Chains A and B, each alone.
Chain A
Amino acid sequence: MCHRTVRYVSRMALAMLIAAPVFSLSAQRAQTSAQIPPPVRGSLYALESAWTAHDGRVMSLSALRGDVVVLAMVYTSCTMTCPVLTSDMLAVQRALPPAVRARVRFVLASFDPARDSVPVLRDYAKKMSLDAQWLAMRASPADVRKLGVLLNVKYRALPNGDFEHSNIISVLDADGVRQFQTDRMPIDRAKLVGAVMRAAGSDSDDAARRNRRIKK
């Protein structure tokens, strides 16, 4: 018998021996993952999805964990309600006291990934003067759909390239749990500011004071 055969057989056997525990280990891991305590109830960060931000950063939604998040789903070529949603969010950002503002991220998730490429999103961020607290991001159509379904944002492409869509701004707390959602246009900015303050755990008197000031 040629040694080459012996060598082959012994190497195969060794490979199997090495591989077997790895397989059983991964199976074990899959088994035990069911016993790991579930993440915070209602946290959107349980959703697995991959996004690319306007600065080119690839991230999962859970990368936003720890900050309060004000989030809207838009498309940048929208000329009707989406710019209004963005300006509403900008107004909320301006109305927040600096200490809270530093802990709040503003996120625009596009439901038009075909046209909203990273450069398009970067241009949009520039055009709308969005600062470092902002993220405009895109994902695969499947991941966009998942986020839309989670947030109850409905959208449908129209033949002319526009979208028919919900106009919803959501507020997530530091754990990614949705604490507030606007339901209709025009958006009550004072109410939205109050919701962000509450999600940030800020003094409610302070929030009420600010609400009054905005209403004037």
Chain B
Amino acid sequence: MRRCALSLTDRMLLPLLPLISLCAMVVAAGTQAGAQARTPGARVPAAHAPMLTVAAGRYQPLYMTDTPVGGEPVTTFQLSRTAVTNAQFLRFVTENPQWRRSAVNDIVADVSYLRHWAGDLELGANARADAPVVNISWFAASAFAEWAGARLPTMAEWELAASRFQRALGPRAPQLNAIVLALNSAAPPVLPAVGNGMVSDDGIVDLHGVIWEWVDDFNAVVASGESRGGGGGGEAGLFCAGGAAFSADPSNYAAFMRYALRGSLHGPYALSTLGFRVARDL
């Protein structure tokens, strides 16, 4: 049998072994205590809700006359079942101090950023832990998604996911537009927990009614007179009657409102009715 030979370093370390082990244990205990102090509550929340697969389909945009017949194809992707919550976002800002309210850079978040929270790392009475996080800039939502190994859904992906309620509504499915409008007007001042709203055919919850949601390419809405105007109806004007001539479905007023909202947003804006959920390629 081969003898186990000890190197010089090992020989020197051997007498110190008890001391080294003790130090390591003390350090480990300290690290653990630190981690617990940073995240109050026994359980560290998951970064975001489970990802569900949204089947491929076609998205018919408003105001885009150059879209292929039948709509823009969207490939299968994954979307979080519910929006990102205050608790989940708290974990993100805890681990990323540059995204705390008092530290955030003014070019990526305006003064309303997380204003409904009681403090940098404190939710308070106006922000239920399980409610969707709002007052979030596009940059903050994107940074969260990146941190969580995900991304924001594109406008086409979000709209496709938000158009499928055959199962939930049955014969009332053609009335989706009216139902969404009614839900939007009933939004409460303190947001309720996620997961109690309408369930889409893909199993995605709360797409309508609780909050609006950021999409990655919200700035793809070329709404003012700056467009090159070659193919799109961007110049037709969003609010004048002439614009309706370009609309794929003038009766879809709920989609029109989302379109108008996106066109009015800037990246640092933080609104009390605007949150987000995350997506991923399949």
**Measuring CB to CB, which residues of chain A are less than 8 angstroms from any residue of chain B?**
2-4, 6-7, 9-11, 13-14, 16-17, 20-21, 23-24, 27, 30-31, 33-34, 38-39, 41-44, 46-47, 78, 80-81, 142, 145-146, 148-150, 152-156, 158-160, 162-168, 183-185
Report yes or no: A150 in contact with B217, Cβ–Cβ below 8 A.
Answer: no
| Interfacial chain B residues near A149, Cβ < 8 Å | 138-139, 219, 266-267
Interface string of B1-27 (1 = CB under 8 A from A): 000111100100110110011011001
B26-49 contacts to A (CB < 8 Å):
27-28, 30-31, 34
**Smallest CB separation, B180 vs chain A (Å):** 24
**Smallest CB separation, A86 vs chain B (Å):** 14
Report yes or no: B107 in contact with A13, Cβ–Cβ below 8 A.
Answer: no
Report yes or no: B222 in contact with A154, Cβ–Cβ below 8 A.
Answer: yes
In the complex, A43→B66 CA distance in Å? Answer: 37
| Interfacial chain A residues near B153, Cβ < 8 Å | none
Report yes or no: A158 in contact with B20, Cβ–Cβ below 8 A.
Answer: no
Report yes or no: A3 in contact with B31, Cβ–Cβ below 8 A.
Answer: no
> Which residue in B17, B103, B106, B266 is a CB contact (below 8 Å) of A42?
B106
> Which residue in B24, B30, B98 is a CB contact (below 8 Å) of A17?
B24
| Interfacial chain B residues near A41, Cβ < 8 Å | 106
Report yes or no: B107 in contact with A20, Cβ–Cβ below 8 A.
Answer: no
**Measuring CB to CB, which residues of chain B are less than 8 angstroms from any residue of chain A?**
4-7, 10, 13-14, 16-17, 20-21, 23-24, 27-28, 30-31, 34, 66-68, 72, 97-98, 100, 102-103, 105-108, 138-139, 142, 146, 151, 216-217, 219-232, 234, 266-267
In the complex, A170→B98 CA distance in Å? Answer: 27
Report yes or no: A7 in contact with B267, Cβ–Cβ below 8 A.
Answer: no
| Interfacial chain B residues near A24, Cβ < 8 Å | 27, 30-31, 34
**Smallest CB separation, A209 vs chain B (Å):** 31
Query: Which of B20, B30, B138, B151 counts the most chain A CB atoms within 10 A?
Result: B20
| Interfacial chain B residues near A34, Cβ < 8 Å | 97-98, 100, 102-103
> Which residue in A17, A150, A165 is a CB contact (below 8 Å) of B227?
A165
In the complex, A7→B7 CA distance in Å? Answer: 9
Report yes or no: A44 in contact with B31, Cβ–Cβ below 8 A.
Answer: no
**Smallest CB separation, A89 vs chain B (Å):** 17
Report yes or no: B4 in contact with A4, Cβ–Cβ below 8 A.
Answer: yes
> Which residue in B106, B231, B266 is a CB contact (below 8 Å) of A164?
B231
Report yes or no: B17 in contact with A3, Cβ–Cβ below 8 A.
Answer: no
Given A38-B103, A184-B226: A145 and B4 interface contact (C-beta under 8 Å): no
Q: Which residue in chain B gives the minimum CB-CB distance to A8? A: B10
In the complex, A33→B104 CA distance in Å? Answer: 11
In the complex, A81→B222 CA distance in Å? Answer: 15
